[in-house]
Amino acid sequence: MLPTLALFSVLTALIASVSAVPCVQFDSSWNLYAFGGSEDVKLGANTTWSSPSTSTLSSSGRPPWTGTNSQCILSQTNNALYVVGSDSSDLSKIYVYNFASDSWSTQTTSGAPSDLGNSRSASVLDHDTNVIYTLTTSSGLYQLDMSSVTNSASSSALAWEAVENSSFSVDGYTVTATQAANHIFYFGVPNTAAGSANVFVVHYAYFQPDAQAFNGTAFPDTAGQAISIPTESDSVPYSMVFVPNDFSNTYIATHWTDLGDYTVTSDAPFATDLINSTQTIPAPTSQDKTASYAASPYDLVQVDSSGDIYYYATPVNADYTVSSSGSWQKLSYSVSGGSTSSTNSTSSASSSASASASGSQASGSATASKTASGSSSASASGSAASSSSSSSSSSGAGKNVVARGDLLGLAVGVVALGVSMLI
């Protein structure tokens, strides 16, 4: 029994240091940002990505980044970021980042269902109403009206409201939702035909009884991550990105409906045969199921759980056809030093002077070592955390990935050992 216990404690310690989930997002002028490391950074326009010169964002009031299913959502109209599920001590809080003024505020909420935070694609911000819709698996669909919040939290709590239960069974569903043209699409709902997605119609506040079939290469009936591609004109989005957990492709699903009359197709902003169709681009290079994604009208970006960032240029052309001949490129910057959800690793708390949330930030300095390539720009910020990490930063950027592979093997071994002891 003793060796098993020893292995378990090693495992716990190692997992605690890799549990941060970074995210990426754009502002409404399509500068890229990376969040959730020891600092949040602006990476800038796509012309600079081959050699990004980062600037550090305000840390005052930033999220603790302890949630395991955090989502970073752009409110394009308000040039604001809404961070959902980033505080494991209270998943109902929404952190609001004002891109223009580089400032954070925290929106408290009331009446949240107890089972928020099902996945990194569970919440969708409706473009036109600025309402967050979150599907849970035991409380139905909830909404949170952010229209009065715009780019800064209000002092009073905002109330979550129950909308309705879904028309489809969410038993065992890892919610994979995004929107196009005032419809929220749910990909990978168990027992749905491949190539079909379930639908919530925002303007009429109801779940369609049947899933919508998409023409073109059928995406699998598998959960994954989903986001919308915003438009330059700040209209409702029309293109949705679905990266299923089988990484068979990156699917671009295109949807449009006439708001007044669903039988009208002549006003579509693209060829009518693209309505409810699926096109594909290659699967991401980093096949990480917990990665998160963001899009500008021009680029699709992924950050994986080891902090590496990849992008795909021009996934969708101006006429909404898809350029499948592109490829994913790695950005020469990685997110490092994120929080862990453990509150135990406080030994280096004094080194993270720049951090606002002391306990959980402290562990950031331990994991900061993995970003060899990012270290020059990181140290420019002059934070104590980055200087403390530099002594151990000789390891390459890929090292943590290797370590994690070993960790998985170890986990499998421990589980196998545990099972064999039970038997």
Ligand X SMILES: *[C@@H]1O[C@H](CO)[C@@H](O)[C@H](O)[C@H]1NC(C)=O
For residue 39, state whether it binds ligand X (rule: CB under 6 A). no
* Neighbour count for residue 318 (Cβ, 10 Å): 9
| Pairing assessment for the beta strands 328-334 and 123-125 based on DSSP bridges | unpaired
Residues binding ligand X: what is the number (CB under 6 A)? 25
State the amino acid at position 57 in one-letter form.
L
Q: Which is nearer to ligand X, 202 or 401 (CB)?
A: 202
Give the CA angle between residues 298, 300, 141 to the nearest 5°. 115
CB of 277 to ligand X, least distance (A): 6
CB of 420 to ligand X, least distance (A): 26
Q: Which is nearer to ligand X, 106 or 208 (CB)?
A: 208
Reading the block at residue 58, the tokens are 């305000």
For residue 394, state whether it binds ligand X (rule: CB under 6 A). no
Q: Which is nearer to ligand X, 223 or 274 (CB)?
A: 274
For residue 313, state whether it binds ligand X (rule: CB under 6 A). yes
For residue 299, state whether it binds ligand X (rule: CB under 6 A). yes
For residue 77, state whether it binds ligand X (rule: CB under 6 A). no
Q: Which is nearer to ligand X, 264 or 380 (CB)?
A: 264
Rule CB under 6 A: which of 338-367 touch ligand X?
342-344
Binding mask 103-142 for ligand X (x = CB under 6 A): -------------------------------------x--
For residue 213, state whether it binds ligand X (rule: CB under 6 A). yes
Q: Which span sits near ligand X by CB under 6 A: 106-114, 129-137, 327-335, 336-344?
A: 336-344
For residue 89, state whether it binds ligand X (rule: CB under 6 A). no
Percent composition of the chain: helix, strand, coil (DSSP 3-state, to 5): 20, 30, 50
Cα end-to-end distance, the chain, whole Å = 14
For residue 387, state whether it binds ligand X (rule: CB under 6 A). no
For residue 257, state whether it binds ligand X (rule: CB under 6 A). yes
Among 10, 13, 162, 402, binds ligand X (CB under 6 A): 162
Q: How far is CA 221 from CA 172, 217, 229, in A?
A: 13, 13, 21
CB of 150 to ligand X, least distance (A): 24
* Neighbour count for residue 226 (Cβ, 10 Å): 28
Beta-carbon contacts of 154 under 8 Å, excluding residues fewer than 6 positions away, are: 107, 148
For residue 14, state whether it binds ligand X (rule: CB under 6 A). no
One-character DSSP codes across 116-158: ----TBSEEE-TTT-EEEEE-SSS-EEEEE-TTTTTS--SSPE
For residue 169, state whether it binds ligand X (rule: CB under 6 A). no
Q: Which is nearer to ligand X, 101 or 317 (CB)?
A: 317
Alpha carbon distance 245, 280 (integer Å) = 15
Among 215, 222, 290, 346, binds ligand X (CB under 6 A): 215
Closest CA to 415 of 1, 6, 8, 3: 8
Give, as one character, the DSSP assignment of residue 193: -
Rule CB under 6 A: which of 191-210 touch ligand X?
199, 208
| Pairing assessment for the beta strands 277-281 and 215-216 based on DSSP bridges | parallel
Q: Which span sits near ligand X by CB under 6 A: 150-158, 257-265, 278-286, 355-363?
A: 257-265
Ramachandran bin of 337, using left for φ above 0, alpha for ψ from -120 to 50, beta for the remaining angles = left
Q: Which span sits near ligand X by CB under 6 A: 31-39, 75-83, 160-168, 285-293?
A: 160-168
Neighbour-count burial of 102, counting CB atoms closer than 10 A to its CB (0-12 exposed, 13-18 middle, 19+ buried): middle
404-408-414-420 Cα dihedral, nearest 10 degrees? -170
For residue 93, state whether it binds ligand X (rule: CB under 6 A). no
Structural element, H or E, at residue 387: helix 384-390
Among 77, 109, 165, 379, binds ligand X (CB under 6 A): 165
Interface with ligand X by CB under 6 A: which residues? 30, 46, 140, 162, 164-165, 183, 199, 208, 212-213, 215, 257, 262, 265, 273, 275-276, 298-299, 313-314, 342-344
